[in-house]
Amino acid sequence: MALTFSAIFVTSPLAACGGTDDTGDVPTVSSSNPMDGASGVPLNAKVSVVFSRAMDPLSLTTSTFVVKQGSTPVSGTVAAGADGTTAIFTPTSSLAGNTVFTGVITAKARTPAGQALAKDHTWSFTTGATADTAPPEISATNPSNNGTGVAINAKITATFSKAMDPLTLKTSTFTVKQGTTLVPGTVAYGTTGTTAIFTPTSNLAGNMAFTAELSTGVLDLEGNPLARAFSWSFTTGTTESRGPAPVGLGMAGNYVVLAKTAISTVPPSAVTGNIAVSPAAATFITGFSLVADATNVFSTSSQLVGKAYAANYAVPTPSNLTTAISNMESAYSDAAGRPTPDFLELGTGNIGGMTLAPGLYKWTSTVTIPVDVVISGGANDVWIFQTTGDLTMDAGKKVTLSGGAQARNIFWQVAGKTTFGANSHFEGIVLSKTDITLQTGATMNGRALAQTQVALQQATVTQPAP
């Protein structure tokens, strides 16, 4: 529907967060680990995929999930996750070193209702020379440790430093307790492959303390367990969050600016948070006058309150960035694939002057902000904006927040170019298929995550509060 009035209020919390029913769209492969084009893959790696919908586990076999070395199938076994949205291929023996492998999910993989993939899904990756024996670590949680005022309908998530084995993420290894009482719920594997999501069966009790824990039964794709059990605590508030489920960023959330080909600045810009490029090398981070650390794991800059990373830096930076880029691409696909928008073609793409309530918004055109915009909602509410075109904000205009809305819960999925005009101000996380440009004096509270390049022109980018 197209609405033309300037204030929008959603009164029902429509959680357009995808689904696993048998009446939706044709299933697809949302992500894979290793990702397409990955290199230096450990010799002891397993291969996993995440589907857009629950699949029939009986259709996930070594004839429909195939890993090949050249034209020769690799010997192994296939197992489906408990909820049907994941599958994992375990090679019988270690993969050959420095070799290209191809993964194939055939169109014979289907949902319980018989809906098959539209065509075979194929991707390739290249192994390195060694196995990986390093344990995974927890890089982030949501809610954060000692977080307060958490929504009573919140999902509890953990982000790992590596791609994880989905078969080891279950209610026996990921628990949530109120005191000593287990909270009933389900555990899902996030589309990035590096997140686990605990969904309580019913709303959490209000104004109560909870503890979440991950046991050493949680393994990464190389079979390495957590070095020790990991737990964190949080306290609920009294209200529910509105809008769709948030987009999981995985390790991409460790960066305020992340790009595949280049990051440039016209000095002096001011960036608070880490920046990174991959697979590009450090020479494609320009204008920052980077100073390499003695370890060569990262660099610093006078324009940067944080660290700069690139694919050609020392271990573990290359593998960390490979994962982060894969997570960024999966997050983009997740945001773009959310169905059933609450608002469709709002303002035919011109949202200037509007007040935007929590929800899922979709446009099949360029979105423009020629007049100030307000994003209004609570601290736990979520917004996802989808556009198949560009996102363009005029010079001097502002996106502002009200009612406690937080930039970390606002996701802008942009298929085209993103341009913020001179001296404009923007709020939220941009997941761009192409490039992001902040013109002279533009400021941004959020993250700029681009599948090509990010250009800063005497601009300011600040990572959102956790």
Q: How many CA atoms lie within 13 A of 244 on its CB side?
A: 27
State residue 24's pLDDT score. 55
State residue 319's pLDDT score. 87
Q: How confident is the model at residue 360 (pLDDT cuts 50, 70, 90)?
A: very high
Phi, psi at residue 194, to the nearest 5°? -115, 15
Contact 280, 420 (CB under 8 A): no
Over residues 457-466, the mean pLDDT reads 96
Round the average pLDDT of the chain to a whole number and report it: 93
Contact 390, 418 (CB under 8 A): yes
Say if residue 459's pLDDT is above 90.
yes
State residue 25's pLDDT score. 77
Say if residue 16's pLDDT is above 50.
no
Give tens-digit pLDDT for 76-115. Answer: 999 999 889 999 999 999 999 999 999 999 999 999 999 9
Contact 444, 425 (CB under 8 A): yes
pTM for this entry: 0.84
The token pair that represents 197 in the structure block: 């999501």
Give tens-digit pLDDT for 235-246. Answer: 999 999 999 999
Distances (CA, A) of 361 to 71, 343, 367: 44, 5, 11
Say if residue 410's pLDDT is above 60.
yes
Q: How confident is the model at residue 192 (pLDDT cuts 50, 70, 90)?
A: confident
- What gap in Å lies between CA 267 and CA 148, rounded to an integer? 39
Q: Which DSSP string do the residues of 324-384 spell out, in sequence order?
A: HHHHHHHHHHHHHH--S-SEESGGGGB-TT-EE-SEEEEESS-EEESS-EEEE--TT--EE
Q: How many CA atoms lie within 13 A of 163 on its CB side?
A: 31
Domains of the chain: 29-127 (2.60.40.1220), 138-236 (2.60.40.1220), 250-462 (no CATH)
Q: How confident is the model at residue 193 (pLDDT cuts 50, 70, 90)?
A: confident
- What gap in Å lies between CA 189 and CA 218, rounded to an integer? 12
- What gap in Å lies between CA 158 and CA 180, rounded to an integer? 21
Ramachandran category for residue 84: left, alpha or beta (phi over 0 → left; psi -120 to 50 → alpha): left
State residue 148's pLDDT score. 94
Over residues 440-458, the mean pLDDT reads 98
